[in-house]
Structure 1
Amino acid sequence: MAGVILRIFSVLVLFLFHPQTLPAAQPDMAVDPSTCLSCHSNKISPDAFASSVHSKNGCTSCHTQLTNLAEHLRGKIKTEKVRCERCHKKENAEHYGSIHAQKDIMCADCHTDVHTHRYWKRDKRVVVAKCVQCHDEEAIYRTSIHGVAVARGNQDSAACHDCHNLHEIKALGDVTSFTAREFHTKVCMRCHSNKEMMDRNNVFNIAVETYFESYHGKNYRLGYPEKVAGCADCHTSHAVLKASDPRSTVNKDLVVTTCQKCHPHATKLFAQFYAHGEHRDPQKYPILYWTFIGMTVLLVSTFAVFWVHTILWLFRGFVENREKARALAEGKIQIVPDGFRQYRRFRPKHIILHLLVIVSFLGLALTGLPLKFSDQVWAKQLMHFFGSPANAALIHRICAIITFIYFFSAVLMSIHFLFFRKDIPGNWLERLLGPDSLCPNAKDLQDIVGMIRWFLFKGPKPTFERWTYWEKFDFLAVFWGMFAIGGSGLMLWFPEFFSHFLPGWMFNVATIIHSDEALLATGFIFTVHFFNTHGRPEKFPMDFVIFNGQVSKYELIEERADLWRRYEETGLTEKFHVEKGSSVLFDFFFKGFGFLSLFVGIALLFLMLYAFLSH
């Protein structure tokens, strides 16, 4: 009894000396907080508790088992482990799956000041101070550009919880794992993709955008962050400093070492690569800007000319077919004697080369377009089909090697044609400009004018020699393509080798050229070339000549009357006559292959159009 009286006396004294400190007892409180503090004031400051976030809850809100003060004072009811989740359900759910919970780090291990804890008012300095108590190896963060800004009160700057969260702190596991690799880039994007925040803090505001335009960023967006460099690989996780700081991993004196972590043979020239080069900024990156402008002009002008050519031909060819059908019905078309007799147009070596072109081109398109349009769902699915960017890159490079093989084969065949063929009259210059050559000549200009007049119903359709002007354009485009796509592709394939004599920004230039020229090539082949070869009304749905090398006499006279006339005048018609046509099995297999190739190309064309329209 004496003990109880003493406790009551202590409470009265507490009220006398701290009349305004503690909040009034709430009706549902089992025990008034002031009663508890009459005994526990030696450990818990009444003033501090009164100003804490828990003061209005009262002691028994947490210590729920203390329902009888007298029993507690006699020692019969003792305090038990507090269950914070009774009130903090959301925080508890987040903590439950965290690395802290896995390591048995509970609420009170971080919130050691639970009786005096005040609302942090979103002050990031409070979080940092708490985290570094245990994570002392990450204390280097405090000297980083983020840590210094937080210490100055900048609430935009990244603190521990901006990356790791407050309670839902996930285990990253192996530093090379997908989870860890994705984390070290994704968390940076949370802030750096916010252009308004970046502008407010005078920070480069297109870091994320330019990263996604790089090979690294495209692979990240396709779902393979573990395969490429992310933000932390160059800038580190916690020691992020300005590039001008001599301690920074991207400082001009240290950046080579940083590059060498992934590119062991990188040189000082290699490090001149613009990691975040912006090709739309003529002031900072004029070489990238003008390269981009030049490639854009090339794309737009090429497509504009040939798409207009295609549309005009499509309509005029449709009209021509109707005119032929009417003339045939009226008996006005003269039947060509032996019209179905077959003549050789291509030799087996030409057919093999074209098959190599088809296989390699489709392989390059299938493996390259997912990178070009890495933000598209179909691009991710296509890359997943290949298994990984590494597999796609392997296929891409095999197809590139095939491309070099057929290109140099064509060069050797051209040299042989000009200097060593015995069946072609004239010297090399006469052969170069002659009717059997793929080099443009004066007749091609006449044919272009004639076709335009025919398109506009102003004249007859011109007759052609062995090669038409659009076929010559296709052939010569390979040479430009090999210089543009092939040259830039080799630079991107072997950057460390080329960095011994080329500055790193040349790889930025090569990326623009390779990407845009590949877009030009695929767009041209899948629209203009497909139409000129297979889609025009007189050939639809497929011209099979490139697979069996044979063409009928009727087609020769109809399309290449000048060639047929020359062969008749020189007595060469029988030289090209084919006694036996291709077999049924051969035709069945290669027509199937041809239609499959057309389907793949047209499907990719529609996916490309969808990608452009969905932006």
Structure 2
Amino acid sequence: MMSRFARRLSLLAAFCLALPLAALATDGMAIDPVNCLECHENVVSGRDFGASVHGQNACTSCHIEVTDIKKHSDGEVMPGPVKCVRCHKKETTEHYSSVHMLNDITCAACHSDIHKHKYWKGDKRRVIATCNNCHEDTVTAFNASIHGKGVAAGNVDSAACNDCHNLHEIKPIGDKSSHDARAFHTSVCQKCHANNEMMTRNKVTTVAVKSYMDSYHGKNFRLGFPEKAAGCADCHTSHAVLPAADPQSSVNEANLVKTCASCHPKTTSLFTKYYAHGDYHNSAEYPVLYWTFLAMTSLLVGTFAVFWIHTLLWMFRGFVENREKLAALHHGHAHHAISTPHKQYRRFKPRHIILHLTVIISFLGLSLTGLPLKFADQHWAQVMMSFFGGTYYAGLIHRGCAILTFYYFFGALLLSFDFLFVRKDIKGMWLQRLFGPDSLCPNLRDVRDVTAMVKWFLFRGPKPTFERWTYWEKFDFLAVFWGMFAIGGSGLMLWFPEIFGAFLPGWMFNVATIIHSDEALLATGFIFTVHFFNTHGRPEKFPMDFVIFNG
């Protein structure tokens, strides 16, 4: 027989248990699920529901309108649409901004097994199976892809639908040629392929993203104009992504002509030899790119090193010389009277001035439109490219200035021909003229001038005098000829890839890109530093020498 104390303790426990139930009853949440199953057991399995992710919830947690089971049984109160947002605020918010919401696809369309729904625990196979309910053709192609096979094998790194499209915040892509669609088709690939650790453990190349971003296609993407160049999906497709060794792959050697022809209609088999992901740092796999890059980098660094040192030495020595002249003038014994102080000596003819103005216009246009592409990862480059109206219009300006460059180059050739073979006021045959004192071609005198100039820099000799042209002026002139073959030749290849791709292997475009980019940077840097100093910035000419403008 239960003692009096035990009975009182049992009553107290029952009372305490009844309090929260009474509170729930006040809110209409106290209906026992067992009562619901008396009528709905043909729809809901109590065992399955109890084991589901919602098993700790009461039926009325979702069907909140049902607060009186008798009224519900009599048909007076019926449950309305379930509002998942009451518990799943983040997911519902994402869903509201998704393409599914725009097409009236509710939560239940994907979560139809809500009464026995198990926690997915990152199982991507369940996601794919759910998407297959509506997107059967797409999922079929995906399942046959390298990504689909990886997911089926249990590889958690392999991309599934949600890795690209998200689970709930599925953005509308719209027209596949639109800006957003083009950006999407490349940006989602970077989620995984820019992760070097993930790529390494899956034995996938780690340079795919970097090499793409270094290409003309990738730089368009970086600058904010993905619709103007090929993205990842254009070559690899969106869902049927297969390794290059697979005969069905869009990037298989047998299919490359067709793939490239979607953008370059006149593609040839030679054209497809282009290294889409060539790494110029990898000497083993891409020796041509490696040595080209090394040669151009050496040329750039070597040229700047020599001429920047030359500039700094001249700047210092010229400053000292000016101070010495001022000090001597101050003491009154260094003034040299000039018999004709206002006499002008013509150095350049009108045709030379016009050619130089053409050089200025074309060079500035090429630099302003080319540098943003070179430094596409910088914010200022994106701002500049937007100022030009995008890569398309910048390209038009760039090519227009290139035409001007060819114009003045051929003008210089005509003047050179006239100098060597036509003019009667210059003595000697063409070879004597070529290496004579009036020629812009280097000769032995320039070696002596350089030596004397260095001695003057180091306070070991007087400042030298020069012939008609100085050695740095000759260097500037010859740099144009070298630049026309290096920048002009590579630029023509990149301007007309289908024409050159008909008889040159595609990897030549990789070489041309390296040469064009580095040589252009060398020319731009040299003009704005060394050339500007030699013409306007040296102490004896500062702040500006107008001779090239007035002759």
What is the rounded CA distance, in whole Å, between the counterparts of 1:386 and 1:370 in structure 2? 11
Q: CA deviation at 1:106?
A: 0.5
Letter of the structure 2 residue corresponding to residue 544 of structure 1: F
Partner of 1:153: 154
Where does the alignment leave 5 or more consecutive residues of structure 2 unmatched?
1-19
Greater shift after overlay, 479-488 or 31-40? 31-40
1:175-208 residue CA offsets vs partner (Å, 9 max, x unmatched): 1110111111111111111111111111111111
Q: With the length of structure 2 as denominator, give the TM-score of the two structures.
A: 0.94
Residue from 499, 502, 511 that aligns with 1:500: 502
In the alignment, which residue of structure 2 is the partner of 1:253? 254
Instruction: Show CA shifts across 1:405-444 (max 9, x none).
Output: 1111111111110111100111111111111100111111
- In structure 2, the residue matched to 1:586 is none
Deviation of 1:33 after TM superposition, in Å, equals 1.7
Match of 1:519 in 2: 521
Looking at structure 2, the residues matched to 55 and 34 of structure 1 have their Cα atoms a distance apart, in angstroms, of: 13
Q: Deviations over 1:533-582 (max 9, x none)?
A: 11111111111000000xxxxxxxxxxxxxxxxxxxxxxxxxxxxxxxxx
Partner of 2:166: 165
Question: Within 2, Cα distance between the matches of 1:266 and 1:355?
Answer: 39
Matched-pair contact (CA < 8 Å) for 2:273–2:505 = yes
In structure 1, distance between residues paired with 2:383 and 2:60: 56
Distance in 1 of aligned mates of 2:105 and 2:87: 19
CA contact (8 A) 2:536 2:545 kept: yes
The match for 1:77 is 77
Aligned residue for 2:11?
none
1:36 paired to 2:4: no
Q: Which runs of 5+ in 1 are unaligned?
A: 1-23, 550-615
Amino acid at match of 1:258: T
Could you give the per-residue CA deviations for residues 33-66 of structure 1, whole angstroms, max 9, x where no partner exists?
2221232111111111111111101100000111
Secondary structure, aligned partner of 1:287: helix
Give, in angstroms, the shift of residue 71 of structure 1. Answer: 2.0
Question: Does residue 414 of the first structure (1) align with residue 439 of the second (2)?
Answer: no
Q: Distance in 1 between matches of 2:372 and 2:148?
A: 38
| Alpha-carbon distance, 1:80 to partner | 1.4
Q: CA deviation at 1:380?
A: 0.4
Quote the residue 2:531 is aligned against. Answer: 529
Q: 2:5 maps to what in 1?
A: none
Q: Matches of 1:537 and 1:358 in 2, distance apart?
A: 23
Equivalent residue number for residue 106 of structure 1: 106
Q: Where do residues 319-468 of structure 1 align in structure 2 (5 Å cutoff)?
A: 319-331=320-332, 332-468=334-470
Partner of 1:123: 123
Q: Secondary structure at the match of 2:244?
A: coil
Cα offsets for 1:102-139 (capped at 9, x unmatched): 11010111110011111000100000000011011202
How many angstroms apart in 2 are the aligned matches of 1:482 and 1:103?
57
Deviation of the 1:70 alpha carbon:
2.2
1:269 corresponds to 2:270: yes
Separation of aligned partners in 2, 1:237 and 1:490:
33
Give, in whole Å, the separation in 2 of the partners of 1:312 and 1:352: 33
Summarize deviations over 1:576-611 as a string: whole Å, max 9, x none: xxxxxxxxxxxxxxxxxxxxxxxxxxxxxxxxxxxx
**In structure 1, C-alpha distance between the alignment counterparts of 2:93 and 2:439, rounded to whole Å:** 76
Q: Name the stretch that deviates more: 78-87 or 267-276.
A: 78-87
Between stretches 78-87 and 238-247, larger displacement belongs to 78-87
Deviation at 1:74, TM superposition (A): 2.4
Letter in 1 for 2:472: W
Cα deviation per residue 1:289-321 (whole Å; 9 max; x = unaligned)?
000001111111111110100000000000011
Distance 1:70 1:448 in 2: 108
- Please give the residue correspondences for 1:270-285 in structure 2 after superposition, counting only pairs within 5 Å: 270-285=271-286
Aligned partner of residue 382 in structure 1, secondary structure: helix
CA distance in 2, matches of 1:73, 1:281: 75
Which residue identity does 1:471 align to in structure 2? Answer: E
Query: For 1:440 and 1:335, how far apart are their aligned partners in 2?
Result: 34
1:42-57 alignment, distance < 5 Å: 42-57=42-57
CA distance in 2, matches of 1:295, 1:27: 80
Asked if structure 2 preserves the Cα contact closer than 8 Å seen for 1:25 and 1:32, the reply is no
Q: Which residue of 2 aligns with 1:58?
A: 58
Residues 246 and 253 in structure 1, CA contact (< 8 A), matched pair in contact too: yes
**DSSP-derived class of the 1:163 partner:** helix
Is 1:492–1:511's contact at 8 Å kept on the other side of the alignment? yes
Residue in 1 aligned with 2:471? 469
On the 8 A contact 1:491/1:498 being kept in 2, the answer is: yes
Q: Deviations over 1:294-349 (max 9, x none)?
A: 11111111111101000000000000111111222223221111122111100000
Shift of 1:94: 0.6
Q: Counterpart of 1:254 in 2: which secondary structure?
A: helix
Distance in 1 between residues matched to 2:391 and 2:503, nearest whole Å: 28
Amino acid at match of 2:55: S
Q: What amino acid does structure 1 have at the position aligned with 2:114?
A: V
Give the equivalent residue in structure 2 for 1:563: none
CA distance in 2, matches of 1:421, 1:57: 101
1:26 positional shift: 11
Classify the secondary structure of the residue corresponding to 1:431. Answer: helix
**Conserved? CA contact 2:21–2:30, under 8 Å:** no
1:342 is paired with a residue whose SS is: coil
**2: distance between equivalents of 1:443 and 1:74?**
114
**SS class of match (1:343):** coil
- Counterpart position of 1:198: 199
AA in 2 matched with 1:210: S
The equivalent of 2:481 in structure 1 is 479
Structure 2 Cα separation of the partners of residues 295 and 34 of structure 1: 80
Q: Which residue of 1 aligns with 2:236?
A: 235
- 2:66 is paired with a residue whose SS is coil
Pick closer, same or farther for the CA change 1:390–1:59 going to 2, 3 Å. Answer: same
Map of 2:92 onto structure 1 = 92
| Partner amino acid, structure 2, of 1:119 | Y
Match of 1:132 in 2: 132
- Asked if the contact 2:124–2:156 (Cα under 8 Å) also holds between the matched residues in 1, the reply is yes
Counterpart AA for 1:144:
S
Alpha-carbon offset, residue 504 of structure 1: 0.1
Which amino acid in the other structure matches residue 41 of structure 1? E
Q: Does the 8 Å contact 1:49/1:55 carry over to 2?
A: yes
RMSD: 1.2
In the alignment, the residues of structure 1 paired with residue 114 and residue 89 of structure 2 have an alpha-carbon distance, to the nearest angstrom, of 17
Letter in 2 for 1:340: H
| TM-score (structure 1 length as normaliser) | 0.84
2:401 is aligned with what amino acid?
C
User: Number of residues paired by the alignment?
Assistant: 526
Confirm or deny: 8 A CA contact 1:433 1:440 kept in the other structure. Answer: yes
**What percent identity do the matched residue pairs reach?**
66
Amino acid at match of 1:250: V
8 Å Cα contact 1:25/1:33 also seen in 2: no
Structure 1: which 4+ aligned runs deviate by more than 4 Å? Answer: 24-27
